[in-house]
Amino acid sequence: MDSGKDGNGAQDALPPPPPVPPNVVPLKVDSSAAEPLKKKPARVPIARRGFASKGQKISLLTNHFKVNVTGADGHFFHYSVSLSYEDDRPVDGKGIGRRVIDRVHETYESELGGKHFAYDGEKSLFTVGPLPQNKLEFTVVLEDVSSNRSNGNGSPDGNGSPHESDRKRMRRPYQSKTFKVEISYATRIPMNAIANALRGQESENSQEALRVLDIILRQNASKQGCLLVRQSFFRNDPKNFIDLGGGVLGCRGFHSSFRTTQGGLSLNMDVSTTMIVQPGPVVDFLIANQNVRDPFSLDWAKAKRVLKNLRVKTSPSNTEYKITGLSEKPCKEQLFTLKQRGRDDNGEPQMMEVTVFEYFVNHRRIELRYSADLPCINVGKPKRPTYFPIELCTLVSLQRYTKALSTLQRSSLVEKSRQKPQERIGILTNALRNSNYDAEPMLRSCGISISKDLTQIEGRVLSAPRLKVGNGEDFFPRNGRWNFNNKKLVEPTKIERWAVVNFSARCDIRNLVRELTKCGGMKGIHIDPPFDVFEENPQSRRAPPVVRVEKMFEEIQSKLPGAPQFLLCILPERKNSDLYGPWKRKNLSDYGIVTQCIAPTRVNDQYLTNVLLKINAKLGGLNSILAVEHSPSIPIVSKAPTIILGMDVSHGSPGQSDIPSIAAVVSSRHWPLISRYRASVRTQSPKVEMIDSLFKRVSETEDEGILRELLLDFYTSSGKRKPDQIIIFRDGVSESQFNQVLNIELDQIIEACKFLDEKWSPKFVVIVAQKNHHTKFFQNGSPDNVPPGTVIDNRVCHPRNNDFYLCAHAGMIGTTRPTHYHVLLDEVGFSADDLQELVHSLSYVYQRSTTAISVVAPICYAHLAASQVSQFMKFEDTSETSSSHGGLTSAGPVAVPQLPKLNESVSSSMFFC
């Protein structure tokens, strides 16, 4: 209605419109003109059609705790909060909000009708039932507001104040501050929306009501001085810290959030780990971070980047500040102007230039042992620096470290943070008891009580699919694993025109080639002797990686009669070799040569078999296939031409805002097989999750999108058949993006199909796979992980939507993380059993290993293709810059660099294996 008024208001200045004949409604014509452009109503995820029953029943526990709600007939009232200083400037200091609202709550309890708040720390506040008035204004005073943050992101004791004498000397402009707080009514949310969601009727209200409950949990953690990271909470307790090296600690905490499930409302609690900066003296952190012996070897430009925006406490006053930079000069040379006590002849205060070192040693009588020759820490504004000697500054605890971890740090984190199932159960039940949610006043006023025991559920264990290997032999995997001892590959290739390339690695190449040939023969792969072994010229070892690769190729071209079929490349480093990207690019993009990189440490039969599995798949062979592929008797899939797609987008690490994201789509070929795939990879704008190049019309007859390439390949490799069924597995999207997958990505795929043939209407199945969730399963009364093939589609699954959890793999260490599959669309009409069986089978067709994997193979291949092709173009490495420099780097959209195209001779191979 308001918009109508605005419209009329805007037209006051114009002449009256011409008279409209009674049978014409201009606005209607306008909207109906736009109507044909509007597609049919937006797709939403489908509802569950039934439960599956195949498999052996198994009793399980899950880390969901049952929640009872008694006050379901009330309302949450949502108020918007606006905070400003006395002079009406809005408060921008992050985190001060919680302290201000706590003070409002203490000071004005009666004006607020004794209500408890749930405050999100920013602009939203919720109560159970209304406040006495729709708009309330308060003024509160907070003592000692420096850059203190006790919103739980700071240290709980983060408000120590400087000594009075120090305070005067430091001329702090802010001992106490006055804040104006305006709380105004925004809307109300019925609590019964939660009950409706449990009956499968989700709405905006139910999502909001659950958000309020999650905000209550965040607030509860914040009051206990925790660091909050979305729905995970981390206490300041050194017992929870794991040293990862480089000045980075892993901090163990808990995730807790409310979920609507078939079994009712539940609290999902899990162990969670985040990275924090090593608290303590700034110098100690920098020495660890740069891995140097003493502060005099530090790279200060690097130090400045890594310290920016971190918070320190300074001694002796124990005041907290945010670091804004470092001084240009060392402490003993950095001057500043000090006001003297006396006055000059004009009555002006006397000024004196003094060095920071001199001031602290002579005026403040503080002994400095090593700061004289090091830069000072600046905590002031750009125009008004405030310097402290570095040894007086200590980093506050619980500050997140948001840059990418190194390979070593990551493996250390994984190793030190994993827990066996029983250990995890114990930690979680203790955490729930210690969280004291029963005493949380907001939860009590909603009538919420939380069970102390893990929920008991029933799962099913699907039996492993039968596999086929060479010589027509069948076998069943045991415990999600198998091997090729005394077995031949189902489709072995020949390795004929090939050579070995050695980039200065220490390696007995003759022995390696002999053992590889012998092992290949036992698996059915015939390997000719290599044409030559190319050793890198020792002079080239110091050259940049691209130059080393170029030189090696010049050597190969001068000696080989023609292009080889295959190159075996020996690299000097096992992980993260700088040569890997340039070498792969040269082979796959420039020359179309299949290549396998190795960095052998222990050359034994197992190692060589694994290498040969990869080589065989890359050269077009198959290692093993499902027996139902061979016969072909896969329900639904074998009956009509079916293409299976795996889609994924990988992004740069958190600190890199300007590195393009990489979209990869893999597709099955040679129907009725579901074990052979090819990949198409493109770049797109940084951090964009939806794939934008599935359909890319460049003219009336040309489409340069990913899908066209894959569909044409399926057509030619599957006996000139178009797929009647397209099964899409999408990785890496959250529930809030499901509708985009269904309406943006799927529309592009349909357009790509129609562009190839207007009359062609394949049926679609869209399934999202999620690994990034917090539901875990445990065997009741057993210390082991759940067996491979465990599937759950009841109790903890969605009240309405079609989802299930599957642990296809054998969890050997830690606690198994199930994959959560969401079936968003099924036009084909799979039964629950057939679909779960297909997903389970697709965990057994991964050609690189002899184990069932945790997520379907097409998705794993999409990951591999994206990470390998991303190495082709080493984007400018910005991992050093802090994530605070993130965001858009320049005005307007930046052109995304395109990836080099794969050479035609390898583009349809499994080069990513």
**Is residue 739 helix, strand or coil?**
helix
Asked if omega into 173 is within 30° of 0 (cis), the reply is no
Strands in 199-291 per DSSP E: 227-229, 232-234, 241-243, 248-261, 264-277, 280-281
Which pLDDT score, from 0 to 100, does residue 7 have?
42
Strands in 601-698 per DSSP E: 625-626, 642-650, 661-668, 677-684
Annotate 383-432 with DSSP letters as a single string. Answer: SS--EE-GGGEEEPSS-B--SPPPHHHHHHHHHHH---HHHHHHHHHHHH
Q: Which of the residues in the chain have pLDDT under 50?
A: 1-12, 28-35, 147-173, 875-892
CA 562 vs. chain centroid, Å, equals: 45
Q: What is the CA radius of gyration of the chain?
A: 32
Contact 164, 49 (CB under 8 A): no
pLDDT in tens, 862-904: 999 999 988 887 643 333 333 333 344 444 456 788 888 889 9
Which pLDDT score, from 0 to 100, does residue 159 have?
33
Residue 902's φ and ψ, nearest 5 degrees, are -75, 145
pTM for the full predicted model: 0.88
Which tokens in the block code for residue 610? 């694994």
> CA 611, CA 566: separation in Å to the nearest integer?
13
> CA 626, CA 633: separation in Å to the nearest integer?
10
Cα-based distances in Å from 779 to 497, 790, 853: 52, 10, 20
Q: Where are the alpha helices (DSSP H) in 460-589?
A: 509-523, 545-559, 580-584
Residues forming beta bridges with residue 343, ordered by sequence position: 349
Strands in 462-544 per DSSP E: 467-468, 474-475, 494-495, 498-502, 526-527, 533-535
> CA 869, CA 858: separation in Å to the nearest integer?
16
Contact 110, 131 (CB under 8 A): no
Instruction: Spell out the residues 6+ positions from residue 653 whose beta carbon is closer than 8 angstroms to its own.
Output: 403, 404, 879
H or E element: which one contains 190?
strand 176-190
Please name the amino acid found at residue 430.
N
> CA 192, CA 581: separation in Å to the nearest integer?
56
Which pLDDT score, from 0 to 100, does residue 154 have?
36
pLDDT in tens, 156-211: 333 333 333 343 344 444 568 899 999 999 999 999 999 999 988 888 999 999 99
